[in-house]
Amino acid sequence: MVFNNSQLELTVNSSAGEIDEWDSLSHIQLILEIEKAFKVRFSLGELQDLKNVESLVLLVSEKCNESI
């Protein structure tokens, strides 16, 4: 569990600025866990463009489709 908060409810509109536990370290941990789980790699430029959970989901989806 990246954010160590079992009560945390994310939506597609959730963003790092709204979640106390989502700091720079947990952001890195989250990205590493996603890369590992989905067997994808993100560039720094891709990560800088993320605005919310929805944009992260769309990026993961794009990456997964690229590897097919």
Residue 68 clears pLDDT 70, i.e. is over it: no
11-37 b/e with 16+ CB inside 10 Å = b? eeebbbeeeeebeeeeeeeebeebeee
Closest CA to 53 of 17, 4, 29: 17
Predicted TM-score (pTM) of this structure: 0.86
| pLDDT at residue 4 in the model | 87
pLDDT in tens, 3-59: 888 899 999 999 999 999 999 999 999 999 999 999 999 999 999 989 999 999 999
Every domain of the chain and the residues it spans: 40-68
Residue 64 clears pLDDT 80, i.e. is over it: yes
Contact of 19 with 8, CB cutoff 8 Å: yes
- Cα–Cα dist 39/15, whole Å: 23
